Structure 1
Amino acid sequence: MPNYWLMKSEPDAFSIDDLKKMQRSPWDGVRNYQARNFMQTMKEGDLVFFYHSSCSPAGIVGIATVSKEAYPDHTSWDPNSAYFDPKSSPDKPRWFMVDVEFTEKWPSILTLAELKLHPELADMLLTKKGNRLSVMPITMGEWQYINLIARK
């Protein structure tokens, strides 16, 4: 049985359309320890809501599937990368990434404002004030409910 996740990306950096073109991509550049720890628990086959962040409107735009479990994020070792971390090395990697595969693009965005209107999602990490994690778990109930309202 899969686990469920929400992963945020700024659409001008990497959008659902980019993933659709590529079909499969590493999810690199995560530089928050809690988000990294969540990614390290992801399993192949887990399902992901793809969320466009730092845009207007922000919200869920589709679904991806974890296609490769966590492995060291090599961008942290590249001094020319925006994600370079001098404290990370191949011998002692600090950051990890997973690969995700395109599953589905929704015909319209399910905005954060819309999600916050539903009391059923009040305990969801995403809808809580001040939560800015780029990777977060979603319960099965939240997953099912969000899919239900997205398809109406």
Structure 2
Amino acid sequence: MNYWLLKSEPRDYSIKDLERDRAAIWDGVRNYQARNFLRQMRSGDRAFFYHSNTKPPGIVGLAKVIRENVIDPTQFDPNDKHYDPKATPENPRWQTVELEFIKTFPRFISLTELKENFLADELLVVKRGNRLSVMPVAETVAKKILELVDVS
């Protein structure tokens, strides 16, 4: 099992939305490096749910990958803000995963707290200027994050 961090703006899709939906496709990622990370995700992997572009940003919960290598349907919809005119059903450019809600953490872990506990080479989200919406998290770091929220 691998660990990941997925960023979402709560006004677009929040941990509460995932809890309500129980499962959802993580669609709309349009960064090649983030897409490549999505392609590496496997069923059973865990993902920290991070609320971005909010005050303060931080980790709010945990999800599980339940389906891998899902074709992102938003790339084909000309009315969707994530439409990609170069993508076709025969040659899709964007793959993603389906996530299942596991839990909202009993407490929020702010970006400030993450910076106090991790170096940029340990946890990419604390690196200044990092804008990736999908990033890997080392198992040792994941375990420390879970200890911070007192979740096993």
Normalising by the smaller structure, the TM-score range is over 0.9
Aligned to 1:85: 84
Cα displacement (A) at 1:108 = 2.3
Helix, strand or coil at the partner of 1:67: strand
Task: Give, in whole Å, the separation in 2 of the partners of 1:134 and 1:88.
Answer: 21
Task: Give, in whole Å, the separation in 2 of the partners of 1:25 and 1:127.
Answer: 26
Q: Which residues in structure 2 correspond to 1:37-76 (within 5 Å)?
A: 37-76=36-75
Aligned to 1:127: 126
Task: Give, in whole Å, the separation in 2 of the partners of 1:144 and 1:107.
Answer: 16
Task: Give, in whole Å, the separation in 1 of the partners of 2:79 and 2:138.
Answer: 38
Structure 1 gaps, min length 5: none
Say whether the 8 Å CA contact 2:106–2:149 is kept in structure 1: no
Helix, strand or coil at the partner of 1:117: helix
Aligned to 1:18: 17
State the Cα deviation string for residues 123-150 of structure 1 (Å, max 9, x = none).
2111111111000000000000111112
Helix, strand or coil at the partner of 2:88: coil
Percent identity of paired positions between Structure 1 and Structure 2: 48
Say whether the 8 Å CA contact 2:9–2:53 is kept in structure 1: yes
Say whether the 8 Å CA contact 2:57–2:110 is kept in structure 1: yes
Task: Give, in whole Å, the separation in 1 of the partners of 2:78 and 2:59.
Answer: 32
Off by >4 Å, runs of 4+ in structure 1: none
- Whichever residue aligns with residue 6 of structure 1, its letter is L
Q: Which residues in structure 2 correspond to 1:95-134 (within 5 Å)?
A: 95-118=94-117, 121-122=118-119, 123=121, 124-134=123-133
Cα displacement (A) at 1:107 = 2.3
Task: Give, in whole Å, the separation in 2 of the partners of 1:108 and 1:36.
Answer: 29
Say whether the 8 Å CA contact 2:70–2:98 is kept in structure 1: no
Structure 2 gaps, min length 5: none
Task: Give, in whole Å, the separation in 2 of the partners of 1:83 and 1:109.
Answer: 29
